[in-house]
Structure 1
Amino acid sequence: MLNTKRMSIVPTMRCTLRCKLCSNHVTEFKKPIDATVEEMIRDIDILFELFDKIEWLQFVGGEIFLHKGMAEVYDHCKVHRGKFSKLILESNATILPREAEITSLRKYGQDAKVMISDYGMFSSKSDEFIRILESNEIPYVVKKYHDDDQHYGGWIDNTSCRDYGESDSMVATKAARCPQVLLENMHCFRGKLHRCSNSLFMSELKLFVPNDRDYVDLLDKSQSDNMKRDIIKDFYIYPRKSCHFCSWKDADSLPRYPAAEQI
């Protein structure tokens, strides 16, 4: 059996905001790209061939509502409805959902949820966004990231994107406590499955060459499904190359900063 808590599909590297401390480093992409609808559907089908159960099937960005083809993707996910518990969407409430997206989400009843990161004045559509969700009985949660008492105390600074020069043993000890590890928050973009967002986004930025078995190439025909499952089962046993470049493994002890300050 192969299960995971969270599987995040990334539809786009584009975002409506340019946050100084963006944890996904999207401001560093000079030409941010989208995954096509066909690529997302293909990846989702492959993932559900590999996994027996996924608790949360998530869509994260960038800002996912920039992508115009998501309703078709959400509809397709229903093919695998028996193998995931919740459909989760993450948004910064700067763009309103399209009618087709609302129609698709309503089909999930209480098993779809929109996670709104509320950045105060920067989340310019927040009130209207919430009214649309409430009027269509779509569950949502608001994470407050403005003024006082910010969610998680605010943001950490993970923007240095450099090898910190720590020993393998130190990185292994710290990485075992990383919030991304504890959440089992895997990320997938255009055929590549990584164990966390930083492994994916830093790799896409070409900051380093990932080690063997740091990720799974879903399209690699030379590897059987069982070989790919074996790599995935090891995802949280030892650190990735990205762990040497990432601050999240120290998140519990790092200072917090106001979220969403713009460049």
Structure 2
Amino acid sequence: MDDVAGKTGGKIIGRDHTFLPGRVHKMRFSADKPSLPYFEMPIVDSCNLNCKGCLFAYNQEETAGPIALAEIKFDLKQMADRFADVAWIRFLGGEPLMHPDLAEILSYARMLYPTTILDICTNGLLIPSIDEAVLEAIKAHHISLHISGYQPTYQLLDRIDARLKAAGIEYHILRRDEFYKFYTLEPDNDPVQSHAACPSCACWELYHGRIMKCSAVLAFEKMNRQFGTKYQVIKNEDWFDIYDESLKTSELYEKCLNPSQMCRYCNLKRKETFPWACGQKEKLSDYILE
């Protein structure tokens, strides 16, 4: 099965900036505003797992918790105002099922985006005990449920399956036995080559009023705080303020499609694969190529 998150090779748009068949539904277009194929929205800065080499480096958060409901609503509304249509939105974490207002987030998102594919990416561990109101919102608003199948998840799979079947909710699960790393400490890689090889080149992140080219922005900022690394993350190059009225949406969209200076820190040709692991003390070497 393909990883519907696009994180293990399943790209959403091709190199010619057209949508790949079968990846997104038909979209509305406007002469006034661009349409966006996809963005991800982390809604919780904490997780109930501590995965080695977490793609978002959420195990590096010193102060973590749910992002405020009001902020999430503002950001979703601003994206709806900026773009004519969005084909696919995914809610992530950390662990998104940990957000206390998840049912209201889903209801509001569906109101703003009535035809958009809305998807929750979760490790599934909370599903057996989650509040019934969340499951009702998932079903009522036609939310897709994508479960990352880590080892602890598979140990609960019978309970997860029983709870979701009882609620009448379909789900997809992808077994994740391996992670990989491809960051370098120095910006000595060809950004065009890195961007061309990147499975996440169209996995734009919406986070605290910023749209980011990929999750590396979050990871680099957290590693700078935790390990004292010197990654450069530059406004209007690697991330953009969605409330900046001087920034045209068409300009934002075009820049997000193309390589930026941040791509110099990635070397996909040398990427290293390692077995999934959890619960150990994090090291910089969990993220950085030797």
The TM-score bracket by the shorter chain reads: 0.7 to 0.9
Residue pairs, 1:199-210, within 5 angstroms = 199-203=217-221, 206=224, 208-210=231-233
The answer as to whether partners of 1:199 and 1:240 remain within 8 angstroms in 2 is no
Amino acid at match of 2:166: S
User: Map of 1:116-127 to 2, 5 A cutoff?
Assistant: 116-121=147-152, 125-127=156-158
Provide the residue aligned with 1:260 in structure 2: 277
Secondary structure in 2 matching 1:175 = helix
Q: Residue 198 of structure 1 is aligned with which of 216, 233, 236? A: 216
Please give the secondary structure, in 1, of the residue aligned with 2:181: coil
3-state secondary structure, aligned to 1:53: coil
TM-score of the two chains, using structure 2 as the length reference: 0.75
Match of residue 171, structure 1, among 176, 191, 197 = 191
Partner of 2:34: 2
Distance change (3 Å), C-alpha of 1:218 and 1:205: farther
1:101 aligns with 2:146: no
2-side partners of 1:115 and 1:240: how far apart? Answer: 32
Distance 1:234 1:196 in 2: 12
Structure 2 partner of 1:180:
200
Q: Of residues 264, 270, 273 in structure 2, which corresponds to 1:244?
A: 264
Which of 49, 74, 77 is the matching residue for 2:109?
77
Kindly state the Cα deviation for residue 83 of structure 1 after the two structures are TM-superposed. 5.1
Identity of aligned residues (%): 17
The amino acid of 2:214's aligned partner reads C
In 2, the alpha carbon distance for the partners of 1:57 and 1:138 equals 18
Tell me, in whole angstroms, the C-alpha distance in 1 between the residues paired with 2:278 and 2:222: 24
1:11 aligns with 2:43: yes
TM-score relative to the length of structure 1: 0.82
* Count of residue correspondences: 240
Q: Which structure has greater helix proportion?
A: 1
Equivalent positions of 1:56-67 (< 5 A) are: 56-67=88-99
Uncovered stretches (5+) of structure 2, i.e. residues with no partner: 1-32, 225-229, 281-290
Residue of structure 2 equivalent to 1:134 = 165
Quote the Cα distance in structure 2 between the aligned partners of 1:50 and 1:215.
16
Distance 1:126-1:202 versus aligned 2 partners, 3 A rule: farther
1:30-51 deviation line (CA, Å, top 9, x unaligned): 2224311111011000011112
Please report how far the alpha carbon of residue 257 of structure 1 lies from its aligned counterpart in structure 2 after TM superposition: 1.7
Q: Which amino acid in 2 is paired with 1:116?
A: I
Q: 2:251 aligned with 1:219, yes or no?
A: no
Q: Could you say which residue in structure 1 is the equivalent of 2:123?
A: 92
Q: Conserved in 1, the CA contact under 8 Å of 2:211 and 2:241?
A: yes
SS of aligned partner of 2:70? helix
| Distance of aligned partners of 1:132 and 1:138 in 2 relative to their CA distance in 1, 3 Å threshold | same
Amino acid at match of 2:208: R
Unpaired runs of at least 5, structure 1: 147-153
**Structure 1 residues 165 and 81: CA distance shift in structure 2, 3 A:** closer
Q: Which amino acid aligns with 1:16?
A: N
Query: Structure 1's 204 and 228: CA in aligned 2 closer, same or farther, altered over 3 A?
Result: farther
Call closer, same or farther: CA 1:210–1:8 in 2, change over 3 Å.
same
Runs of 4+ residues deviating >6 angstroms: none
